[in-house]
Structure 1
């Protein structure tokens, strides 16, 4: 049997000066004011025969697809490989730099990762791998009580050929990386950073965290005023709270980060040692692409959406309305997007994903249609674009479906979410690609 080789490297990517933070764009001031914990980029490079591949995880809300693809192309040149054999997964922390604005920071991250790829290649050795699944206890659907979440924590255990020591754990968890709310201005990987440290100490190996389909899933633990801040981030600038309350909220956030990490560790504890890594007989990284569409709303409907967003979330839709009007004046009633669905398959399981903020029920649907609980569908893969709701959630509207576009249309190039049938079509595409490849 042909052997599979892998090597690991990581880089600290914390900005060295104040930067614009991404994640709460309705906030009046987005400038960072120090660092809570360092951000990381982690690199796993592999080869099998002549094929090369690379998995990169980055503590970031998510670069635009365009910026991410530039990084993937540059990484592919080094390996060498095709761009489709480089997968970049973002944690979606809301306390990291806005790479689309901070150009120097983006370039420094790219350079760090590219040097890390070269170093990871030098450390490659034969590996075995095995999958496991733990219980996701740290995610809650923020669209209402009783709404679904993906109940699985995915685990890919990679060890040396003799299986004596675990080299890397890849942990896929589904919960928004925003324990830290808009009143936080410190750079942080959020609970991903806490969880990595706890798990690395517990298992004596490197841990890479991958964000799941968490577009509608918030973290279980947060500070007591989190619900208000999530809906009204613009109010942070005007909040009149005492120093005593600030200290109280900070302590609550720190405890919440620790609780998230501890619960993740508890969920993995009964699973990790039972995973039996085996020789790798199937490994590949590939992509399929499909075109999806978003209808531009009529002007009266757009005004209604903007009015709702302001009344319920204090989100200013002035620029968004002008863009809708411009499109309609140019007789552009539909916008399109080519969506890349990428897979990283190892033996009988895989990580797969798209750049969108995917709602959790889509991942569950793909799992059920493949009849394989080790198929983990994720968002924030190779970039971060708009929310991708299920048909049922599309009909409900709200922030994830409608109002967020008033803030982020300028980054993902559409004024509305992809149409109602997109989630079902995407799930079918994912199942088909998994079975064919």
Structure 2
């Protein structure tokens, strides 16, 4: 935890209703590593996400789908614990925030409509619920991005280092690096997929790596007022995507990632280009 850094705590909640207005499901997009629990916990656990879903599903009577946001540098304030009660407390905290946002939504098919002003001590604007037909626009695109890699040793070189290494911590890191190099190949670039969907007035972007939160904050700022959901670690994984300015720091994300500086910015530009294209009128 770094109290000097600002963390993106944006919560995006979607509600799925049937024609009668009954809730059929909720979608929760939030960015935080599920790392409340660590080595002292010997149970299989969904971490904070489990209690979040239980809280929401108990109140709504409908399934809850969780989408992990761009959380490359975001984690619980207290983490690496063996106390499952701590993970459940975090989950309930998030779940109650989801229920609060659901409670603030208007009924399905309704919006506030301006009815005029009533003259009093000041002109009073009158807004009432009125019928609303949401957009049914549905578009999607997948694009493969050629992401530049750092100057990495080849797979054969990594395996030779691993075989000669006697330090168990270093050996574990080399084994992880081996897995990444094996999946990406020995080239200077790696093909990484990006999916972008337009769902009515909302946008959804997903990609395989651990992008830092700049990915989602930059997309939301550029695509406002659209609701923008972002998903990390979609259909695979290779490494972190920190901002280019972080590559001068001595941090795990920087030396773990196989991607060269500028990868996050390339991903963001590509996602914005696709989003603008999907938003153009037919």
**Coarse TM-score class (shorter-chain normalised):** 0.7 to 0.9
Q: Within 1, Cα distance between the matches of 2:35 and 2:202? A: 28
Q: Aligned match of 1:395 in 239, 242, 248?
A: 248
**How is 1:3-402 mapped onto 2 (pairs within 5 angstroms)?**
142=1, 144-163=2-21, 165-222=22-79, 226=80, 250=82, 253-276=83-106, 277-278=108-109, 279-297=134-152, 314-316=169-171, 319=174, 335-372=188-225, 374-402=227-255
1:423 match: 264
Q: Within 2, Cα distance between the matches of 1:206 and 1:166? A: 9
TM-score by length of 2: 0.74
Gaps of 5+ in 2: 110-133
CA apart distance, 1:395: 2.2
DSSP-derived class of the 1:380 partner:
coil
CA apart distance, 1:364: 0.8
Q: Within 2, Cα distance between the matches of 1:372 and 1:337? A: 33
DSSP-derived class of the 2:261 partner:
coil
TM-score by length of 1: 0.50
Q: Within 1, Cα distance between the matches of 2:86 and 2:36? A: 7
CA apart distance, 1:436: 0.4
Q: Within 2, Cα distance between the matches of 1:146 and 1:202? A: 36
CA apart distance, 1:352: 1.0
Contact 2:56/2:98 (<8 A) preserved = no
Deviations 1:283-317 (A, max 9, x none): 23331221111122589xx99xx9xxx9xx94436
Q: Within 1, Cα distance between the matches of 2:232 and 2:89? A: 24
Contact 1:159/1:167 (<8 A) preserved = yes
Change (3 A) 1:145 1:394: farther
| Count, aligned residues | 239
Change (3 A) 1:423 1:321: closer
Q: Within 2, Cα distance between the matches of 1:221 and 1:372? A: 33
CA apart distance, 1:320: 6.0
Q: Does 390-399 or 165-174 show the bigger shift?
A: 390-399
Deviations 1:211-234 (A, max 9, x none): 001111112343xxx3xxxxxxxx
1:43 match: none
Q: Within 2, Cα distance between the matches of 1:205 and 1:339? A: 34
Change (3 A) 1:315 1:298: closer
Q: Within 1, Cα distance between the matches of 2:49 and 2:173? A: 35
CA apart distance, 1:322: 9.9
Contact 2:14/2:27 (<8 A) preserved = yes
Contact 2:71/2:211 (<8 A) preserved = yes
DSSP-derived class of the 1:146 partner:
coil
Q: Within 1, Cα distance between the matches of 2:226 and 2:135? A: 19
Gaps of 5+ in 1: 1-141, 227-248, 406-415
Contact 1:388/1:417 (<8 A) preserved = no
CA apart distance, 1:149: 2.7
Q: Within 2, Cα distance between the matches of 1:320 and 1:221? A: 28
CA apart distance, 1:319: 4.0
Q: Within 2, Cα distance between the matches of 1:274 and 1:186? A: 36
Contact 2:219/2:272 (<8 A) preserved = yes
CA apart distance, 1:268: 2.2
Q: Within 2, Cα distance between the matches of 1:348 and 1:384? A: 29
